[in-house]
Amino acid sequence: MFDGPAGETAVLSGRYIRGSLRQKGVAAIPLFDLEVVNATTEQVIERVLAGAGRTRIAFLNAHCANVAAGDRAYHDALVTADLLLPDGIGVELAARMRGMSLRENLNGTDFTPRLLRAAARRGKSVFLLGAKPGVAEEAAQRLCAKIPGLRVAGVRDGYGGLADEAAAIEAVNQSGADILILALGVPIQDLWLAKHAARLNPRVTLGVGAFLDFAAGRVRRAPKVVQGARCEWIWRLAMEPRRMAKRYLWGNLAFLARSARHSLAQVSRQELAHRGLDLALTGLGLLAIWPLLLAVALAIRVESPGPVLFRQVRIGKGGKPFTLYKFRSMYRDAEARRAALLATSDRDGICFKSASDPRVTRVGRLLRRFSLDELPQLLNVLRGEMALVGPRPALPQEVEAYPTRALERLAVKPGLTGIWQVAGRADIGFDKMVDLDVAYVRSRAPLLDVLLIALTARAVLGGRGAY
């Protein structure tokens, strides 16, 4: 239903400090000096609508990054936003240059309707502010027709309607809207929301560029078959060749060039030392132990049918999934039986570990006793997915259940060994493991890695916590 009279306004914002995404329990990756959300649409919407505090949302695409590079005030508005959502293939490619991947492209024209549908289901209202006279009202009418139960608390255009800022803010606040959508384009919309964050009452505010023009039917959208696909930009280029070429073709090239320079600058001497140490020790180790690897593989095949190597998806640096390799230490149906055994875990917290796990074979118990089942992860180290030293890689479902402070484990590559293994392995509870890993992340150095590798040998021979 359309509650508000035509000609009202709205906007919102949030205050906020840099680096707040981890504090707010949202996974993020660093791009340039910004923290970009690395989550699915559903996760972000749940975080936005279920959270107790205010949330100011901004979007980052190649054009936004190009503008922010020359506009310090706009850059600061992005830095202080509560959630900075990735928008477009340019940002995805920039993440890949840093060795990370984004879980989903959260562009505003697709994300916003899904946010409004979820808001309608929860009985929350929205205020539409921006665009030319009449556009916000048309957008409200069409959105209400498409989204059952959507309540539009008010609308106001973004030209004459914003001439008197105090009146605009008062209209938004008096409407009682839960969500403020501001469509003025980059950088004006984000600067406005950041400037008036403390004065706006809506709990959620976001700047969404041309969303109201799309919603009102003033701008033709791409066919559904290409919406959200990587080829959508081609369709848009054909529809608006001059504007889109300037913004997206040349703009993306400039953005990617800057991303490449920034990525190279981020590879510090210490990181190179870590990688060099990993490659040198891993290469020497494989040359020394290849007869042992063959013997273990033969023993596994003799005792039980099935593959020698066990493959499993784990979460690496920046939340990027990868395939982890281990010698198989369990029977072939182990994964299917895992859920039934969760209640028997011997470790406190969300990570499952059982000393009497019935899925483990006899050879497997011996391999686990001396951590020989982990040796194939030397291949992961060679591939750059893991390091010799670091937090142990977690399962996707474990990462989903992480408390906020545990997300810092994802700031570095997972390791074959680490401070947790030296301190007692499975005898250490989850909370203590997180404390140890976070301490390592904040103080890691090549010399520390060498010491931990040396101490790992003693821990393996002692066998404490190995099962």
pLDDT > 90 fraction of the chain, expressed in percent and rounded: 43
Angle formed at CA 317 by CA 40 and CA 422, multiple of 5 degrees: 130
Across residues 344-354, what is the average pLDDT? 50
Strand partners, 321: 315
The string of pLDDT tens digits covering residues 103-143 is 898 989 889 999 999 999 999 999 999 989 999 999 999 99
CA distance 239 to 248: 13
Question: What tokens does 57 get?
Answer: 């949302």
Which residues are CB-contacts of 308 (< 8 A; sequence separation ≥ 6)?
297, 300, 301, 327, 328
Across residues 305-312, what is the average pLDDT? 90
Q: Which comes out higher in pLDDT, residue 97 or 298?
A: 298
Given this model, what pLDDT does residue 260 score? 62
Q: Is the per-residue pLDDT at 334 higher than 90?
A: no
Q: Which comes out higher in pLDDT, residue 437 or 235?
A: 437
Query: What is the 3-class SS of 184-202, one letter each residue?
Result: CCCCHHHHHHHHCHHHCCC
The string of pLDDT tens digits covering residues 250-290 is 566 666 666 666 655 555 667 778 888 999 999 999 999 99
pLDDT band at 7; cut points 50, 70, 90:
very low
Q: Is the per-residue pLDDT at 440 higher than 80?
A: yes
Given this model, what pLDDT does residue 128 score? 97
pLDDT band at 223; cut points 50, 70, 90:
low
For the chain, domain boundaries: 20-264, 269-462
Q: Which comes out higher in pLDDT, residue 238 or 398?
A: 398
Given this model, what pLDDT does residue 71 score? 93
- Of the given ranges (148-152, 230-234, 274-278), which has the lowest mean pLDDT? 230-234
Q: Is the per-residue pLDDT at 16 higher than 50?
A: no
Given this model, what pLDDT does residue 18 score? 36
Q: Which comes out higher in pLDDT, residue 79 or 334?
A: 79
Asked whether the beta carbons of 377 and 324 are under 8 A apart, the reply is: yes
The phi and psi torsions of 29 (rounded to 5 degrees) equal -125, 150
Q: Which comes out higher in pLDDT, residue 197 or 62?
A: 197
DSSP string across 84-130: EEE-SHHHHHHHHHTT---S----HHHHHHHHHHHHHHTT-EEEEEE
Question: What tokens does 388 get?
Answer: 């010799």
Q: Is the per-residue pLDDT at 224 higher than 80?
A: no
Given this model, what pLDDT does residue 436 score? 87
Given this model, what pLDDT does residue 441 score? 87
Mean pLDDT of the chain: 81
**pTM value?**
0.58
Asked whether the beta carbons of 388 and 277 are under 8 A apart, the reply is: yes
Q: Which comes out higher in pLDDT, residue 235 or 308?
A: 308
Asked whether the beta carbons of 146 and 120 are under 8 A apart, the reply is: no
Asked whether the beta carbons of 63 and 87 are under 8 A apart, the reply is: no
CA distance 122 to 144: 15
The phi and psi torsions of 255 (rounded to 5 degrees) equal -65, -45
Q: Can you tell me which residue has the tokens 């109201």?
A: 212
The distance in angstroms from the start CA to the end CA of the chain is 60
Positive/negative CA dihedral, 317, 321, 324, 328? positive
Given this model, what pLDDT does residue 90 score? 80
Asked whether the beta carbons of 192 and 168 are under 8 A apart, the reply is: no
Q: Is the per-residue pLDDT at 398 higher than 60?
A: yes
The string of pLDDT tens digits covering residues 164-210 is 999 999 999 999 999 999 999 999 999 999 999 999 999 999 999 88
Question: What tokens does 413 get?
Answer: 């590559």
Q: Containing H/E element for 282? A: helix 269-303
Asked whether the beta carbons of 130 and 209 are under 8 A apart, the reply is: no
- Of the given ranges (4-13, 240-249, 292-301, 456-465), which has the lowest mean pLDDT? 4-13
pLDDT band at 12; cut points 50, 70, 90:
very low
Note the residue count of the chain: 467
According to DSSP, the β-strands at 125-130 and 55-60 are: unpaired
Listed residue (236, 197, 256) closest to 56, CA to CA: 197
Given this model, what pLDDT does residue 175 score? 97
Task: Classify residue 221 by its DSSP letter.
Answer: P
- The SS3 call for residue 361 is coil
Given this model, what pLDDT does residue 237 score? 55
Q: Which comes out higher in pLDDT, residue 148 or 461?
A: 148
